[in-house]
Amino acid sequence: MNINKLCHDYKKSITEYIDTSNESLLEDAYELGRLAMQKDIGILEMKSIHKQTIAELLNQTSTVKELIEKLEICERFFDECLAPFDMAERSFKEVKAELRLDNKLLEEQVVKRTHDLELHVTKLKRIIDQVVETIAFMGETRDAYTFGHEKRVSKLAQAIGTRLGLSDEKLEAIRMAGKLHDVGKIAIPLEILFKPGSLSEEEMSLIRTHSTMGYKILSKIEFPYPIAEIVLQTHERLDGSGYPHGLKEKDIMVEAKILAVADTIEAMSSHRPYRPATSIDIGLKVISENSGILYDKEIVDICISLFRNGLFSFKKDDKAA
């Protein structure tokens, strides 16, 4: 049944009811009205149909008595037939108002929960940073020669990662792992760390265990990023000549590949007991010659570009950081 026919039948039932006072016609009118409203005919439109019908009936009235009778019937019709529609409309408005109130309360709860969550995340990040800084400080205080090394490596690695277009999560992982990549040296005897001159193969083998030791230390902490795994792979090389597991290109995490380049550049530019510092240019030459062999070519190109174009430099105050 289309909406035009509904309205026509509805109007007809009203007319017949007023003319005859037949109660069954009132029920028919009510049912047709209900169907019409389900077809998106609003209460105001329903009342407009009533008024038009009543106006037509009144125009047809010839005597005052008939006019009064029909007005009384019309009034009763409004009371009995339209009351349910008015009630439904009021009920709808009340429900709508309740829903708006509920939505407002929910929005306030969401805002509060979001705020609380942001505070919790901020606090958690601060705690994690404190853990990272404390562990890094513990490692660096044992070795005056490398004090500030991890912070400098972290900054360069972040700069490379940013140019590489890594996500914020990966950049944060690089920042943390950079500051902790040498923490395993805590387990290396000081006489080896401070030994002047060349190290023996046995001593170098012991030095190389710091990656595994760093992994063991960091894997006991539930970082939001794979920090322990990155630290473990920092000294792996594309051709499989690195340590501790001799991983090759496709098996090495991009974060570790970046730290490998940053660590090489910073280490070569800093003094060590067994060798003097070299210039940045020499360090850049070394990674360039080994681009695509030991180090990722794209990462090497970005690192060289950062220094050559003056977009990055190691600051003196990083040494004392």
Going by C-alpha positions, the residue among 95, 10, 109, 100 that lies closest to residue 53 is 10
Q: At what angle do helices 3-20 and 43-59 cross, to 10 degrees?
A: 50
Q: What is the pLDDT of residues 41-97, one digit of tens each?
A: 666 676 677 667 666 666 666 666 766 776 676 666 666 656 666 555 566 566 567
Q: Where are the domains of the chain?
A: 3-108, 142-320
| CA distance between the termini of the chain | 82
0.85 surpassed by pTM? no
Distance CA 298, CA 288 (A): 11
The pLDDT score that the predictor gives to residue 19 is 72
User: Which comes out higher in pLDDT, residue 250 or 16?
Assistant: 250
The whole-angstrom separation of Cα 129 and Cα 28 is 75
Q: What's the average model confidence in pLDDT over 214-220? A: 92
CB-based burial label for 222 (10 Å; 0-12, 13-18, 19+): exposed
For residue range 86-98, list pLDDT tens digits in order: 555 566 566 567 7
CATH entry 1.10.3210.10 includes domain 142-320? yes
How deeply is 49 buried, as exposed, middle or buried, from its count of CB atoms within 10 A (0-12, 13-18, 19+)? middle
pLDDT exceeds 90 at position 163 = yes
**For residues 43 and 95, is the Cβ–Cβ distance under 8 A?**
no
